[in-house]
Amino acid sequence: MFTSIKKKLRKIVFLESKPESGEVFLSQRRVFTVPSKPGLVFVVLLLMMFLAATNYSLNLGFGLTYVLGGIAVINVFYAFRNLAYLHLLPGSARSVFAGEETEFTVYLINRRAHARYAISVGFADKGHPEKFVDIAADSRIAVQLSYPTISRGLQAIPRIRLQTYFPLGLLRAWSTWLADAHALVYPQPEVNAPPLPMSGQGKKAEVPGHAGDEDFAGVRAYQPGDAMKHLAWKQIAKVDTALGGQLVTKQFSGGSGSDVMLDFSALPGNMDIELKLSRMTSWVLEADQRELTYGFRLGQTKYPAASGPEHRDACLRALALYDM
Amino acid sequence: MMKTPLFRTILSRDKADTLLLIFACAFVLLPHADHVMWWVNASCALLLTWRGWLTLSGRRLPHAMLLLPVAILMMACVFLTHRTFFGREAGVTMLVLLLTCKLLEMHAKRDLFVVIFLGFFILLTSFFYQQTILAAVLTLTGLCLLLTAQLSFHYTGVVPPLRQRLKFGATILGLAIPLTIIAFVLFPRIQGPLWGLPGDAHSARSGLSSSMSPGNISDLAQSEEIAFRVKFTQEIPAKPLLYWRGIVMDKFDGRSWSHEDRRSLYRNAEERDWISYTGQPVDQEITLEASGQNWLFALDMPASKPEIEGSSASSIIINQQMETRREQSTQERIKYQIASYPGYSLEANSSREMQAHSLHLPAGYNPRTTAFAASLRQQYQDDLQLVRAVLDYFRREAYSYTLDPPLLGTNSADEFLFDTKAGFCEHYASAFVLLMRAANIPARVVAGYQGGELNSIDGFLEIRQSNAHAWAEVWLEGKGWIRVDPTAAVAPERVERSLNYAVPRQGLAGLMNLSPDGISFFNQMRMQWSAVNNSWNQWVLNYNQSKQISLLNSLGFKKIDWAQITLLFFILTSLVLGLMALPLIRNRPRLSALDKVYFSFCRKMEKKTAARALHEGPSAYLERLRTSLPAADFENAERFLKLYASARYGKNPGPDNILIRRLKTLLAACR
């Protein structure tokens, strides 16, 4: 209950409301300032200086205290304008497999004649790394924020917080922004998935397990989603991945010409749906890597046999959004 | 290999920031070098150099186990020197050492703030020692350096060059100045002190003291410090009349003269019936510098109790010897009004018996002087004649006036009168009074100031410590106490002009051989500077609660209380803040002249037909205009847009001003 009140309060005070689409302008009302810890100590220091000046009747001491007070006030302006009137534009979020980190691109556009320094950009919830950026006068920069994904589907990009302590560190100016942006999260590909279900026209329907007999055609760089059993372990063992060596995957030339049909309903009925989706994902990736033509059937979604990145992405998308 | 230069630049940025901070701290500490112990200066210099070297060579800061013993040792030294950690001197020394040590123990951003904030406080403590214009300028410079160091640490990416950062620091400081002035004038003041000041709150100050031994005044005479400034409402009296009465010294112990508190012999002390005045009063407004003493000064002879802002009349006394004093000592600059009469008769109706204490001589001292007095007494029966004879004697004999008199032994008057014959005003006054007493004439020494220098810039008469003077008073039957200045007999110019003439000037003034009377360029400058200093004192350093209220009264705010002052303060501050915030916040990018013409073209077209979409470039817009504009208008628009596009995106657009002129004519053609 307490948290819900807190949430409501934040909504009223900090205008944390619905996601906003398109370019967002950080207006005066959206930028908040609050003294930082050193700022609070600074206030205590000013008080001490005022008392000392009063006690010893130091008129210049009063002067110095007021100068420092004035500096604190001017610092509010500078901290405020370092953040306010910034334009934010959501970029695209990279589609990833569940469990990976998505990268969300944000454009910060400074249409003012002054440069902005040391603005930290990051997600508002705790525990996420922040990035510090400078934006030159009348220019724009792109910031990539990574965010872990857990499950498949459309994952909303969480609230982003921009804050700055510039120039004197006595004050924190911040603003938050909930972009109407989503990252498409594909199901996690199954590790060690069974071989592709081949249903060749020229050949007999292959029994799963025979795929391994196909001719070894060479190796290529590892791509996310490659089945573990196709990794060229011998080659990998020769290079040290820590030294920048890459994982390599074996490629097979066999099976070309044979048709692959990835059908969700063909999978055993008693299997967990998520596991089935994982297996389908893994198959899509494998088929795509082997540049096979493959058909795809998932509930109402039916794609005729095709190949190429567009086809692959359409299949993955369907898998990600299945039953959501 | 690729990483090394990058690494190096990051490191050097860090180094540069730290070095700036060390420099700023050294600058802040510098004004304190004057008054802390020598070993504090030495250790600070050593530690700061060490810190600088550590930074430059990129070494690690010392371990706490090494730093802690050093800090404890220094604290012990502070305690051994001052016997306390509190109080002004010990406190300042502790702060200075703390800042230096903290610089060697900086690990997190928090430590940076500790160092900077300590620096701010140390800037404040430098005002314990001086609050001159120079001190203010130095403080502002130190503040600017500290601010620059502080903001340098807050860049995370690109760091602008030092000059630009200094400019930024100065800008922040400069913008804070208007707020400072408003706060200084209007922020409610509380009259200090809030708690008991430590014993050493006011360090020794130069000024006349209530005893006089040979050498006292000649020490003072070397000082060009201002003792007080006087504003006359009428014409300034002639220089020979400018005797600023201070302390009457009645008691002689064989070597030094001292002031003695005596009960008044007169019952009606308040009415002061022992004195009567003649002639016109001279009104003075005196601004007395902090002297650490209770004495107040006024022209011979003060007639009324001075009025001091913020202290009651009963705390000020004018006693029978016509000394003016306050109950508390003058620890800050005060201002008072007082009236004096050059014509007076003091204790004319009393008797020689009543003045017996002014005849006392300690036995066994100065036998030759006593014998000389006796011979004079035989020659002159009349007191006044005897006085004149002594002055004549001083004038006739080869007495000389010098600031560097030979040292005198036990019988100082004997040696001075008959052997060395060279001395300063205190020698003459002392010897003269002794002669008088030996001749059975009541006499006493009066210490004060004589003369002064008129500042032609602001019209204040400036009385410096070098104007300190001692003269004599003798009591004559039926006439009362009469001022006699034996120094004037020896060195009349000392009185007629001013003491400055006799004193070899020190420092810059001495180098340029300034004469105080000549209207030279340097003299003019000196007076100007003195006048600026005076206004600084009057308006900045003396500004207090009562001045605040009287200033507001004179501005038309009658009967204002502190709540209204606070309100006024907030209103004015908000106004000024608003004015300053506008240009800071309304800081749109400036369009180039080329784009300005383009945008006015777009506005023109918008009124006519269709607005340019935000994403549309000039050629796309042109295509859209082709369909919507009439053919004749379109031709002009096409010419304009093509020229603009080639100017904006083309390879060799040519000189800007010609292009813009052409674009403007094309724009005018588009109707």
Interchain CB contact of B176 with A (< 8 Å): yes
Tell me if B168 is assigned to some domain. Answer: no
Question: Do residue B230 and residue B303 come from a single domain?
Answer: yes
Instruction: Please list every residue in chain B whose beta carbon sits closer than 8 Å to the beta carbon of residue A81.
Output: 584-585, 587
Q: CA-to-CA distance for B574 and B580, rounded, in angstroms?
A: 10
Q: Counting Cβ atoms within 10 Å, is residue B133 exposed (0-12), middle (13-18) or buried (19+)?
A: middle
What DSSP designation does B365 have?
S
Query: Which chain A residues touch B533 with a CB distance below 8 Å?
Result: none
| A56, closest residue in chain B (CA to CA) | B193
Instruction: Locate B367 and state its tokens.
Output: 């036998």
Rg (Cα) of chain A, in Å, rounded?
29
Any A CB within 8 A of B155 CB: yes
From A88-102, A110-124, A255-269, B383-397, the region with the lowest mean pLDDT: A255-269
The amino acid that residue A307 corresponds to is: S
pLDDT tens for each residue of A146-193: 988 888 999 888 899 999 998 899 999 999 998 888 899 999 998 888
Residue B259 lies in a domain: yes
Which tens digits make up the pLDDT trace of B506-556?
444 444 444 444 456 777 787 788 788 878 887 888 787 777 888 888 888
d(Cα B270, Cα B286) in Å, to the nearest integer? 23
Q: What is the rounded CA–CA span in Å between residue A5 and residue B266? A: 84
Closest chain B residue to the Cα of A78, Cα to Cα: B584
Selection from B364, B356, B360, B357 nearest residue B414 by Cα = B364
Would you state the pLDDT for residue B432?
92
Q: Is A44's pLDDT higher than 70?
A: yes
Q: For residue range A81-110, what is the model confidence (pLDDT) as tens digits? A: 899 889 998 988 889 999 888 999 999 988
User: Which of residues B121, B136, B154 is at a domain's end?
Assistant: B154
Q: Average pLDDT, stretch A199-218?
A: 46
Return the structure tokens found at B406.
Answer: 């030979």
Q: What is the pLDDT of residue B494?
A: 65
Tens of pLDDT, residues B250-301? 888 887 888 887 766 665 556 677 888 888 888 999 988 887 788 889 998 8
Segment B201-220 shows an average pLDDT of 64
Cα distance between residue B293 and residue B167, in whole Å: 46
Please state the rounded mean pLDDT for residues B314-343.
Answer: 84
- Bridging pattern class, strands A153-156 and B422-423: unpaired
Q: Of the candidates B140, B180, B584, which has its C-beta nearest A70's C-beta?
A: B180
Reported ipTM: the value is 0.78
Report the residue from B113, B544, B589 with minimal CB separation from A112: B589
Helix (H, G, I), strand (E, B) or coil at A222: coil
Q: Are B113 and B20 in contact (CB under 8 A)?
A: no
Show the 3-state SS of B92-158. Answer: HHHHHHHHHHHHCCCCCHHHHHHHHHHHHHHHHHHHHCCCCHHHHHHHHHHHHHHHHHHHHCCCCCC
Cα(B452)–Cα(B464) distance, integer angstroms:
7
Q: Is there a single domain that holds both residue B617 and residue B470?
A: no
Coil, strand or helix: which one is B446? strand
SS3 A185: strand
Nearest Cα to Cα of residue B120 among A37, A35, A74, A69: A69
- The answer as to whether B307 is a domain residue is yes
Instruction: Please say which residue of B109, B125, B154 terminates a domain.
Output: B154
Alpha helices in B422-561 (DSSP H): 425-438, 486-490, 492-496, 507-511, 521-535, 545-554
Identity of residue A211: A
Mean pLDDT, residues B129-142 taken together: 92
B599 and B496 within one domain: no
How many structural domains compose chain B?
Answer: 3
CATH class of residue range A7-186 = mainly beta
Among residues A238, A229, A172, A203, the alpha carbon closest in space to that of A39 is found at: A172
Residues of B in contact with A117 (CB under 8 A): 154-158
Task: Parse chain A into domains and list their residue ranges.
Answer: 7-186, 210-321
Cα–Cα distance, B503 to B159 (Å, whole number): 57
**B76-82 CB contacts, 8 Å cutoff, 24+ apart:** B77/B39, B81/B37
Q: Is residue B99 part of a domain?
A: yes
For residue B394, what are the domain limits? 211-511
Q: What is the mean pLDDT of chain A?
A: 83
Same-domain pairing of B98 and B241: no
Question: Domain for residue B487, yes or no?
Answer: yes
Q: What is the pLDDT of residue A251?
A: 63
Contact residues on chain A for B135, CB-CB shorter than 8 A: 60
Between CA B331 and CA B192 the distance in angstroms is: 12
User: Could you say which DSSP state residue A266 is in?
Assistant: G
Does B322 share its domain with B436? yes
Domain closes at, from B464, B485, B511: B511
Q: Which residue has the higher pLDDT, A44 or B613?
A: A44
Q: Global pTM? A: 0.68
CA torsion through residues B316, B319, B324, B328, sign: negative
B501 & B630 share domain: no
Q: Is the peptide bond before B193 cis (omega within 30 degrees of 0)?
A: yes
User: How high is the pLDDT of residue B218?
Assistant: 66
Lowest mean pLDDT among A101-110, A258-267, B189-198, B370-379: B189-198
Q: Are B149 and B221 part of one and the same domain?
A: no
Q: If you measure CA to CA, which chain B residue comes closest to A64? A: B124
- Asked if residue B41 is part of any domain, the answer here is yes
- Per the domain annotation, does B161 fall within a domain? no
Q: Which of residues 188-217 of B touch A (CB under 8 A)?
A: 189-190, 192-195, 197, 201
Mean residue pLDDT across chain B? 82
pLDDT for A40 equals 96
The Cβ of residue B617 has, within 10 Å, a number of other Cβ atoms equal to: 13
Cβ contacts of A108 on chain B, cutoff 8 Å: none
**Shared-domain flag, residues B341 and B413:** yes
B364 assigned to some structural domain: yes
